[in-house]
Amino acid sequence: MFLPPVPSIDGNGAEFRRAVRAAAALDTPYRARSFRGVTPPKERRIKLTIHYDGAGFYGWQTQPEVRTVQSVLESAISRLTNRSTTVVAAGRTDRGVHATGQVVSALVPWKWTAGELRRALNAILPDDVWVAESVEVPLEFHARFDAVARSYIYRVGTTEGARSPFRRRWCWALCEPLDRGILEAGAATILGDHSFRAFAKAGQEERGDRCTVYRAEWVEWDGVGVELRITANRFLHHMVRYLVGTMVDAARGRRPPEDLAALLEGAAGLETSPPAPPEGLFLTHVAYSLDELEGEERFDEDLP
């Protein structure tokens, strides 16, 4: 910084004092800028991964006079933060559907770190909801619109073992043999980009009906049945349950296996089978980059 020349202290005293005051005046703005305080942010956005047993809920979304996952979670967060708080979920689950990988986000006061919020929530949430993970994310993060893929598992019990009280509340206890070849062919049919209009509940015209299925396969489940593992960029309302109901009916010999492809092509006069019951369905993972899908198998380990 340029300073005016300062005369010797042995010179005129008044001139010396004027020069010092001039130098101080020039330096004041610089010093003020250098020590200006930084205003800390007032809020954090926290991303929560939650588990819930859907048996005790009327689905995810808040509804008047019934118990939902959203209302229970929002009530708990609002209680901790001492203010009304809304959470945004990656997707809505229906009444009776479970989750081991639902993702939600919420804005909370800055004093709440991700770890502290998780510990406090798990101390006051009911036994059928649990926060598995809590991380801070950018304020602009959106749990629904930033998601690139979602994964579900649907379990069908094909043996009497599925009627065990430790299994039946988390599966479709069909207790009938199924043709695995037909199931596997059905899963292969739905891979890729298709219109799933036939496999969706009515009333979703504004959303469109095309989905891209990245993964669909039937695998053995715990020696008592089979499970469909399916991942797609998005799912329509009841889509997985209609797919399972239709594939299972074909595997039971109740309809031609070719119906699945015909339904995807929009064949006139052809309808899906009734949707599979909700208790067999789990939302297991929400991915926010396609790289996450490579390690997806680890998320299946959390199922009961």
Residues designated catalytic: 94
Cα-based distances in Å from 135 to 49, 262, 272: 9, 44, 41
Question: How far apart (Å, rounded) are the C-alpha atoms in residues 114 and 131?
Answer: 11
Question: How far apart (Å, rounded) are the C-alpha atoms in residues 250 and 243?
Answer: 11
**Does residue 43 contact residue 108 with C-beta atoms inside 8 Å?**
yes
Cα-based distances in Å from 260 to 181, 274, 296: 14, 13, 27
What residues are paired with 195 via a beta bridge?
A: 210
Closest CA to 71 of 55, 60, 83: 60
Burial class (CB in 10 A: 0-12, 13-18, 19+), 293: middle
Cα-based distances in Å from 58 to 61, 71, 199: 8, 10, 22
Closest CA to 240 of 229, 250, 249: 229
Question: How far apart (Å, rounded) are the C-alpha atoms in residues 172 and 174?
Answer: 6
